[in-house]
Amino acid sequence: MKKMAFLLVCVLAVSLFVGCVDNPVSAPTPTPTPRYEDAEFLSWLLHTSDIITRDLNALTESANSINIFKTRDRAKRLYNDCEIALDEIDNFDISPELVPVREEVRSGLYDLKMAALHIQHFRYDEAIEYLERGGNHFSRATEMIRDMGEYIL
């Protein structure tokens, strides 16, 4: 029970980090460089963070209800959505300034995918570690986007 409660707290914390991505991305209107797809990438990132946030919220809700089967199903959805996002992340020809953001997001998606895998197999200690790391990556990506405010305006 204690591990499930701690898992719930970690999922909530990560969902807050992932949900923060939409604030810096939605506020500025990026002006795309003719040869780069920065605006498309940022739009994709906003959409993807919304999906991942929805998955994390659903996972939190099911973990809060202590329904392990529902939690496992929600973890599978998170796993699948992270896998789709990881397949799509390189579809954009982005400027060199956005490459570090993409790499942080990629690392965050991978860690959340691994957390979801561990949750599906009821390995909560490992899941918590990956949730924390995934949240840290999304937090760093958010800070990078905020620091680039002038660039993406």
HEC per residue, the chain: CHHHHHHHHHHHHHHHHHHHCHHHHHCCCCCCCCCCCHHHHHHHHHHHHHHHHHHHHHHHHHHHCCCHHHHHHHHHHHHHHHHHHHHHHHHCCCCHHHHHHHHHHHHHHHHHHHHHHHHHCCCHHHHHHHHHHHHHHHHHHHHHHHHCHHHHC
pLDDT digits (tens, 9 = 90+) for 39-61: 999 999 999 999 999 999 999 89
Question: In the structure, what pLDDT confidence band is assigned to residue 18 with cuts at 50, 70 and 90?
Answer: low
How many domains is the chain built from?
A: 1
pLDDT, tens digit, 9 for 90 and up, residues 80-138: 999 999 999 999 999 998 999 999 999 999 999 999 999 998 888 888 888 888 888 88
pLDDT at 2 over 70: no
CATH, residue 74: 1.20.1410
pLDDT of residue 105: 93
* Tokens 């906003």, located at residue: 46
**Domain ranges, residue 55:** 2-152
pLDDT of 139: 86
> What's the predicted TM-score (pTM) here?
0.76
Contact 75, 83 (CB under 8 A): no
